[in-house]
Amino acid sequence: MGQSASSRLTDSPPAVVGGISTATDYTADLPDDCLALVFQSLGPGDRKRCSLVCRRWLAVEGRSRLRLALDARAALLDVAPAIFARFDAVSRLTLRCSSRTDSIGDEGLALVAARCPNLASLKLRACGALTDAGMAAVARYCSGLRKLSVGSCAFGAKGVDAVLRGCPLLEELSIKRLRGLHDPSATAELVAGAASLRSVCLKGLYNAQCFAPLIAGCPNLKTLKLIRCSGDWDPLLKNMAARVPGVVEIHLERLQVTDSGLAALSVCVDLEVLRLVKTPECTNAGLAAVADRCAHLRKVHIDGWRANRIGDEGLQALARRCAGLQELVLIGVNPTSRTLELMASNCRRLERLAFCGSDTFGDAEVACIASKCAALKKLCIKGCPISDQGMEALAAGCPKLVKVKVKRCSGVTPECADRLAASRNGKLAVNVEADEGSAAVQQAEGTVVFGEFGIAEDTGGAERPPLASVDRASAAGPLSSKSRRTARKKRAGFFASRRNLVASALRRWSHGSSYSRHSHR
């Protein structure tokens, strides 16, 4: 019969590592806490390898591991006691399964929760066998839980309610594609508020409005994200704004919300981040109402869905009232030069700009940005009628510009990108990707592209790989046309070197000891 890995370990590091004799254990005098700090700076692969060095390292690595991600198939029930006997300090746990396999059930989740009394963050993905009883066990054993994120699970509102009532410190709640919300009677007694909640995200829910009393009853709520949830959301926004005026971030995507609900948010005078994605019933009037009273807005993302309901009027109101604006993303919106001039003149801190699928954003508008936006650092343009002429205007403007990304703009050539990068002596990274696909495809993928650029998060869609890509910067600068290949080589070499971390460290210690012995002779 074979032995387990732990039974084959010695009490101290082996006498020979990598072909080098190490008669002395140089980690013996190192306190466990210090050794744990070393392990915490390593990646998962290196931590696993270090845990196989000796029994002491195995124990210290297990006690110091705070994050754990497990395959949450039904078989986890059998091995969970052994896993959590070793990893007894886990505070952030992810249980992930597949819809094609049987997931862990209530008994398994209760066992895991009982073994993790210090759990602060729990993520559940595709755990279809869990019911409300399993979530009640989480609430019973993990009262210190601060973050709960569930996706594609089958339990219902009673399970969420149990956590809200049993975890008084819960700050973040994310519910995505929860399949157990179909019974209205089960949501009637859902807790109507939680004083500790600061962030709520609801995505892809059929009966998401059952959480409306909860949202409106969270006095300390700061972030609200509502994405692809059915129903009329104007009443919730009005009720929430009246009772929770301290919200600082709002994300509304593919919702039935009108100017009435949007205007209600103007009561939230501390609002800093506003994302309106594919909400065709929101118009200039709603945006202007928010801008008029929410003067602290720093980030605004608008995906107009080419509905032409938001344009110059709303954007100009934003420019006049929100002087501290730092980031503006416009997808399917058609601003004119007059709007951009006003934005550049009033919003002196504007650092990040992105335009996608705008029919009116051409060379004149690029030239306007180049001459007016002195603080601009990042610029992304996709599917707009610009050419080399407009891009060349950036060479003499925007002195703080460090990154430009252009995609699917047929009038911009790689040669222009070369010249623009060379004009800044390698301090400007210019990326030009070839034109492909129809305007509709460009519009559907706009948000994803901006996510790659580092401006907007991915809110839907799937990005297709481009046919050709040219990354241009001066050869003398830190970001040359070979930067991607060089970076990949550096990363490969870095990870390869870390694989031999233990052997290298012991080798150095061995050499140092040898040198010391020779020096005393």
Are the C-beta atoms of residues 293 and 317 closer than 8 Å to each other?
A: no
Please tell me the distance from the alpha carbon of residue 246 to that of residue 468, in angstroms, as a whole number. Answer: 46
Taking domain 69-231, whether its CATH number is 3.80.10.10 is answered by: yes
- The count of C-alpha atoms lying within 13 angstroms of the C-alpha of 187, restricted to the half-sphere facing its C-beta, is 17
Structural element, H or E, at residue 431: strand 429-433
pLDDT surpasses 60 at 504: no
- Burial classification of residue 353, based on how many CB atoms lie within 10 Å of its CB (0-12 exposed, 13-18 middle, 19 or more buried): buried
pLDDT band for 450, please (50, 70, 90 cuts). low
Tell me the one-letter amino acid at 176: K
E strand or H helix that includes residue 70: strand 67-71
Coil/strand/helix, residue 486 = helix
pLDDT exceeds cutoff 70 at 468: no
- Which residues lie below 8 Å from residue 431, measured CB to CB, with a gap of 6+? 403, 404, 405, 406, 417, 469, 470, 471, 472
pLDDT higher than threshold 50 for residue 486: no
C-alpha neighbours within 13 Å on the C-beta side of residue 426:
10
Q: How confident is the model at residue 20 (pLDDT cuts 50, 70, 90)?
A: low
**What whole-number distance in Å separates Cα of residue 151 and Cα of residue 127?**
8
Strand partners, 376: none
- The token pair that represents 108 in the structure block: 């398994």
Distance in angstroms (rounded) separating the CA atoms of residues 199 and 6: 42
C-alpha closest to that of 347 among 360, 361, 364, 335: 335
pLDDT score, position 317: 96
The predicted pLDDT at position 186 comes to: 63
Alpha helices in 294-376 (DSSP H): 312-321, 337-346, 363-372
**pLDDT exceeds 60 at position 497:** no
Predicted local confidence at residue 22, as pLDDT: 56
> What mean pLDDT comes out for the span 8-14?
64
Which residues face 148 on adjacent strands? Answer: 122, 173
- pLDDT at residue number 256: 95
* Cα distance between residue 494 and residue 492, in whole Å: 5
> What residue has token string 């991915």?
458
Q: Is the pLDDT of residue 94 over 60?
A: yes
54 in Cβ contact with 9 (< 8 Å):
yes
Both tokens assigned to 166 = 């049993």
Q: What is the mean pLDDT of residues 291-297?
A: 96
Quote the pLDDT of residue 319. Answer: 96
Round to whole Å and give the CA distance between 65 and 8. 22
At residue 306, the pLDDT reads 86
Give the pLDDT confidence of 197-230 residue by residue, as tens digits.
999 999 999 888 889 999 999 999 999 999 999 9
How much is the pLDDT for 520? 41
**pLDDT score at 356:** 96
Is the pLDDT at 75 greater than 80? The verdict is yes
Question: 83: closest CA among 104, 101, 100?
Answer: 104
H or E element: which one contains 405? strand 403-407
Asked whether the beta carbons of 412 and 457 are under 8 A apart, the reply is no
What residues contact 75, with CB distance under 8 A and at least 6 apart?
none
Residue 312 predicted with pLDDT over 60: yes
For the segment 334-364, what is each residue's pLDDT rounded down to a tens digit? Answer: 999 899 999 999 999 999 999 999 999 999 9
Interacting residues of 85 by C-beta distance below 8 A, sequence separation 6+: 115
Q: In DSSP terms, which residues pair with 225 in a beta bridge?
A: 201, 251
73 band by pLDDT with thresholds 50, 70 and 90: very high
| Residue 376 tokens, joined | 């601009």
**Angle at which helices 312-321 and 284-293 pack, to 10 degrees?**
0
The greatest distance separating any two alpha carbons of the chain, rounded to the nearest whole angstrom, comes to: 88
Answer for the pair 385, 412: CB distance below 8 angstroms, yes or no: no
Q: What angle do CA 342, 315, 420 make, to 5 degrees?
A: 60
Please list the residues that pair with 469 across neighbouring strands. 433
Confidence at residue 451, expressed as pLDDT on a 0 to 100 scale? 59
DSSP secondary structure string for all residues of 117-157: TT--EEEEES-TT--HHHHHHHHHH-TT--EEEEES---BH
pLDDT digits (tens, 9 = 90+) for 95-153: 999 989 999 999 999 999 999 999 999 999 999 999 999 999 999 999 999 999 999 99
Q: What are phi and psi of 7, to 5 degrees?
A: -70, -20
Residue type, 61: E
Please give the mean pLDDT across all residues of the chain: 83
Q: How does DSSP assign 220-237, residue by residue?
A: T--EEEEES--SB-HHHH
- The residues of the chain that CATH labels 3.80.10.10 are 69-231
Residue 89 has pLDDT above 60, yes or no: yes
What's residue 27's pLDDT? 83
Q: pLDDT value at position 182?
A: 75
Can you give the pLDDT at residue 434? 75
| Gap between the Cα atoms of 230 and 465, Å rounded | 32
Strand 327-331 with 299-303, pairing: parallel
